[in-house]
Amino acid sequence: MLAPVIVQLVFVAVIYSTLNSAATSFEKVRRGREAILALQKNEIVFAQMILIFSDTSYIQNPAAYLSAQSRLKIAFKTDKVWTGLKLSDYPELRDAIELGERLQSEFYALYNAGKKAGEKGPQEIQNFVNNVGLNTAINLCLDRRRLSKLILAVEHEQMKAQPVQLAKEREHVIFVFSLMLTAGVLVSTLLAWLFARDIILRLDLVSEKAHLLSAGKTVIRNEQGTDEISELDAIISDAASTLKEVREREAVVLANAADVICSLDSRLRFTAVGEASTKVWHYSPDELLGMSMLSLLSEDTVERTRNAFTQLSEEEKDSESRVENILKTKSGAHKNFVWTINWSKQQKAFFCVVHDVTELRAIEKLKQHFLSIASHDLRAPLSAVSLNITSLLESGDEEVSCGAKQTLTRVQTSVQRLTDLVAELLELEKLEAGKLNLNLAPVAASDVCEEVKELLHGMAQKADVRLQGPVGEALLNAEEKRVVQMVTNLVSNAIKFSPAGSTVKLTITKQDGFGEIRVSDQGPGIAEEECGLIFERFTQARSAESTSHRGTGLGLAIVRALAESHGGEVGVESKLGAGSTFYVRLPLMKERGGVDA
């Protein structure tokens, strides 16, 4: 990852070196020109020196003469010209510099001699000028002219060479820049290719693992790191481990399932079967693969089953259905099975759970047989026994002792309980089988409550329980006879379990399209865990065991079945020691315009 940065740093270093070399070259030219200009300016100093030596006013005035000499020395800048200059760096200036250095030495010698003469007086100055000063100054000026010609020649050569040198430097810079730019592009391209190749190889490995994952094969993690691809590899490896555990659990469940779990294609052929088929159908999964499911069914259930599957496959979305049929096992036995079918439109396949209901159907046949016996072979003899006992008790025959009469009364009570039990069993079976036809009509809930109060008035008086209400009104959509039957059962139970001197209240409410008849007592109450159980067959609350009133345990089951057949429900609200409130909730009659009555 550092390679691109290193390449860029090298590029910057080379460009800097090239530009620095060009700057150094230009700096040499600049300093050479400054030296030339300085040498040219010194020519004026020599001319001024000749004027001083020629002017008698300076010769007669030593102070003015010395002052002028000092100004000439200050103006003479040749000593600063050579500072920092190396003849090896400026070979074209060698002759000019050597001549300049000689002139500089002679100028200072002349200056020092003139200064000594000036300090001695005008006569000495006159002698110095006439003998040495003027001639030496003229010679220096002539030599300075020759130096100027050399300088002009060098400057001319530099002016001619400067554009060429600038062009070379420019071309060199452009060449280096282009070379480094090309090298940078090539290196970046190579690194990008290597990086992309590495990513593609790693992604190919991840893709291969994904295919192995989808195929249910073992996936081994071999990516180590913290980048996104390593994280993806870790996720796939973790998912593979999780799926492996799920498949193992699923295999255990399928191998030990009591129901046959299988899948069928659109032509109803087995594509996958659980191990339970060996135990339930006596066919191994391998034997069933590719076999048509219809070939296992009895002839009378083939068409019904085919129609159920066909109808389900025509649905626009994934859906579920159930169908019951008879299947021939490999051993030749015929068994009843209920198929729970799920259709997958995307996969064009059926996923089924097949439950064996052979024993359940056998039990139902036994139940029907028992009910038939109860209806014909028990009810008639019991009725006859009850009539005979009633006749004996009402005959007034003195031969029947009081003890015998008491025994006959107990027998009659038991016979009546048996008769009620048979009647309630038959009615409950009819309700649960859906054989009850209801004649729905508007029913006033208050009228039902008043009728029930009249029916149970004697029972309430005997138990010293007061019936109060009803409070409220609701127009129900129900069969009046069945509503009376439900409320009678609830009120009679409330009277049975209420203490003497207590009150049973009837209340009518309306809510959410339903009317509710509530029966509240002041009895012992029902434990919370029993409230959901007392509507089952042959079930009574433990608090009922402490009373002398024992029922068949079917009354509340019948009330629930009647309420559900009306599209309603029944329930209880109770706490131990705080009484109970039973309620039956039934649909309200709709008025014109769809408003609840």
Q: Note the pLDDT tens digit of each residue in 348-377.
A: 899 999 999 998 888 877 766 666 666 666
pLDDT tier for residue 106 given thresholds of 50, 70 and 90: confident
- Residue 265 phi, psi dihedral angles, 5° rounding: -85, -175
As beta bridge partners, residue 580 has: 574
**Pick from 272, 278, 268, 363: which is nearest to 307 by CA?**
268
pLDDT at 518: 96
pLDDT at 372: 66
pLDDT at 426: 67
Residues 422-444: tens digit of each pLDDT = 666 666 666 666 666 788 999 99
Residues 252-308: tens digit of each pLDDT = 766 677 889 999 999 999 999 988 899 999 999 999 999 999 999 999 999 999 999
- What 3-state DSSP class applies to 568? coil
546 contacts 513 by C-beta, under 8 angstroms = no
* Residue that wins the pLDDT comparison between 534 and 68: 534
Task: Tell whether the model's pLDDT for residue 141 goes beyond 80.
Answer: no
Residues 166-210: tens digit of each pLDDT = 777 778 778 877 877 787 788 888 888 888 888 888 778 777 777
Q: Under the phi-then-psi rule, with left for phi > 0, alpha for psi from -120 to 50, and beta for the rest, what region is 160?
A: alpha
DSSP secondary structure letters along 364-423: HHHHHHHHHHIIIIIHHHHHHHHHHHHHHHHS--TTS-HHHHHHHHHHHHHHHHHHHHHH
Cα–Cα distance measured from residue 134 to residue 138, given in angstroms and rounded to the nearest whole number: 6
CA dist list (Å): 83 to 32, 75, 78, 86, 88? 11, 17, 10, 9, 14
477 contacts 587 by C-beta, under 8 angstroms = yes
For the chain, first and last CA: distance in Å? 81
**Pick from 562, 274, 44: which is nearest to 283 by CA?**
274
Task: Tell whether the model's pLDDT for residue 34 goes beyond 70.
Answer: no
Q: Rank 213-217, 312-316, 541-545, 560-564 by mean pLDDT and report only the highest.
A: 560-564
Mean pLDDT of 564-581: 91
**Pick from 460, 438, 569: which is nearest to 516 by CA?**
569
pLDDT tier for residue 27 given thresholds of 50, 70 and 90: low
Q: Share the mean pLDDT of the chain.
A: 78
pLDDT at 465: 95
Residues 198-247: tens digit of each pLDDT = 888 877 877 777 777 666 677 676 656 677 777 777 777 777 777 777 77
Residues 332-353: tens digit of each pLDDT = 999 999 999 999 888 889 999 9
Mean pLDDT of 512-529: 92
529 contacts 549 by C-beta, under 8 angstroms = no
417 contacts 552 by C-beta, under 8 angstroms = yes
Task: Tell whether the model's pLDDT for residue 544 goes beyond 70.
Answer: no
585 contacts 529 by C-beta, under 8 angstroms = no
pLDDT at 463: 93
Question: What is the percent of the chain with per-residue pLDDT over 90, rounded to a whole number?
Answer: 27
pLDDT at 162: 66
**Least confident span in 23-27, 124-128, 352-356:** 23-27
Model confidence pTM above 0.75? no
Residues 461-519: tens digit of each pLDDT = 999 999 998 999 999 999 998 899 899 999 999 999 999 999 999 999 999 999 999 99
pLDDT tier for residue 573 given thresholds of 50, 70 and 90: very high
pLDDT at 403: 73
pLDDT at 597: 60
| Residues 225/227/228/230 CA torsion (nearest 10 deg) | -10
289 contacts 271 by C-beta, under 8 angstroms = yes
Q: Exposed/middle/buried for 459, CB within 10 Å: 0-12, 13-18, 19+?
A: middle
pLDDT at 262: 92
- What 3-state DSSP class applies to 463? coil
pLDDT tier for residue 79 given thresholds of 50, 70 and 90: very low
Q: Which residues contact 144 (CB under 8 A, 6 or more apart)?
A: 42, 43, 46, 103
